[in-house]
A and B are shown apart, each in its own frame.
Chain A
Amino acid sequence: MRLTLKIWRQEAPGATGRMVGYQVDDADEDMSFLELLDVLNEKLILSGDEPVAFDHDCREGICGSCAMVINGEPHGPQKATTACQLHLRHFRDGETIVVEPWRAAAFPVVKDLVTDRSAFDRVIAAGGYISAPTGAAPDAHATPVPKANADRAFTAAACIGCGACVAACPNGSASLFLGAKITHLGELPQGRPEQDDRVVRMVEQHDAEGFGGCTNTGACTVSCPKEIPLDVISQLNRDYLHATTGSRRSA
């Protein structure tokens, strides 16, 4: 199939970029979107041009690297699918496809489609963990977890930290990501002791990184390749309220 690509090209952080058009005549509908970019890049290299820089790693939808907005939608038009798992059969022959990097002040463009998402690492470092002593691993069944809590924790734990929620959000908020981490850890007994501190510190870091506030628009869930539900944001708000009011505020 023949495809026209319009891709954001930007040489370096802070440099002015622009959309550049490319033609790929030998695309195959069984190719993934990243393979399409590979094909394009081989051509660019052969003709002595600079290949399009983009992030990728696992190419199987689990690492969250492949960040790109395809035709205005983070990870493209396919529901619950990362860009690396998106196949060209979802596009029409002759179609023009617009590819842009995540747009958020907290995710500055490094080059072309590559953005610096280390803001997420710092949000995680602020509280997205549990403290556990090292040593012999405890028996897996030593701590019982009710099925409902385990299910909810698993649903939230599916978040791969890709940042599509931020890219989709009109406020550049990372609330869905935050809520996923808060819910994932807070639903489990191991995450409870640090529940209050976690939410306060993570929200603080989230705001300091320059992410915006949530207006419950819901664009995040629609774009999330892991279909993290909107109610994790409710959990985040609930935990924060609990942590910042009442007498149980821990140090």
Chain B
Amino acid sequence: MVSLVPRTNGDAPTRRTPRPSSVQLKYVMAVSGAVMFLYLVAHMVGNLKIFFGAESLDLYAAWLRVVGAPALPEQTVLWLVRVVLLAAVVGHIVAATILARRASRARPVKYAHRSRVAGSYAARTMRWGGVIVALFIVYHILDLTTGTLNPNGVYGEVYANLVADFAPQRWYVTAFYVVSILALTLHLRHGLWSALQSLGRTRGGNLAALRATANVVAIALAAGFLVVPLSITFGLVS
């Protein structure tokens, strides 16, 4: 490579090294993403209890509030999980924002000719997809955790809350959940293998297999989540 304006280090404009480094920010993205993903797997499996009836689901939800008791006071584990999740969500969003700002400063001028699409749709929609999922989480907590936006909204009546929420005449709520889960699926399609790459766990030989696995896992998770609201809206669960 040729440098057109050879500069000795002395002449080089003094630049501040941004902290944390870009690689450290990627570690934050990867680790916080992994924490949220593990939560999602547990959450999805737990939701499937709805197919074992109201009692099964409500008992399970009640158990979630007392896990660890009597060794620990009730709700200790619940709040531990909530605090860890909150830290992961905040870390994920803060790191993503810093990286996005650095990226737009690193590429201030667009090409006149649109670049041929390089990189998957999922990879290119990580930022907007992430925002959609984040908005969904806010709505979702107000809907099914606090009950504020839920037509039934009785604390502990998880089954009844769900059935009221996704009732056929409230199809738009179901539609919103479906769109959000699809955004999440795309996000995970890229995010799952990207996290492994960020932590230096991919190799030339396993890259294709890891990407395929990420696809399968993301789609399986989506199916598990989607089956609950869709079953209620279409009258299979009532």
Contact = CB atoms under 8 A, between A and B. Distances in A.
A158 to B, nearest CB: 14
A105 B113 contact: no
B5 interface: yes
A234 B202 contact: yes
A103 B110 contact: yes
Interface in B118-176: 118-120, 123-124, 126
Interface string A228-251: 011101111111110010000000
B111 interface: yes
A98 interface: yes
Interface in B174-223: 190, 193-194, 196-204, 207
A210 B114 contact: no
A51 B18 CA distance: 39
A216 B190 contact: yes
A72 B114 contact: yes
B213 to A, nearest CB: 15
B112 A6 contact: yes
Contacts of A122: 9, 12
Interface string B70-114: 000000000000000000000000000001001101111111111
Contact of A240 (B9, B23, B119, B204): B23
A168 to B, nearest CB: 6
Interface string A194-214: 000000000111111111111
A19 interface: yes
Interface in A97-131: 98, 100, 103-106, 110, 114, 116-118, 120-122, 125
B197 A230 contact: yes
Contact of A72 (B111, B203, B207): B111
A65 interface: yes
Contacts of B106: 104-106, 171-173, 210-212
A40 to B, nearest CB: 18
B25 interface: yes
Interface in B1-50: 1-7, 9, 12, 15-18, 21-27
A183 B193 CA distance: 20
A236 B103 CA distance: 19
B103 A116 contact: no
B1 A65 contact: yes
Interface stretch (A26-34, A136-144, A218-226): A218-226
Contact of A223 (B107, B114, B118, B123): B118
B112 A212 contact: no
Interface in A69-92: 69, 71-73, 77
A55 interface: yes
Interface of B: 1-7, 9, 12, 15-18, 21-27, 99, 102-103, 105-116, 118-120, 123-124, 126, 190, 193-194, 196-204, 207
Nearest first, the 7 A-B pairs at minimum CB distance are A238-B200, A172-B106, A213-B22, A212-B106, A219-B118, A217-B119, A171-B103
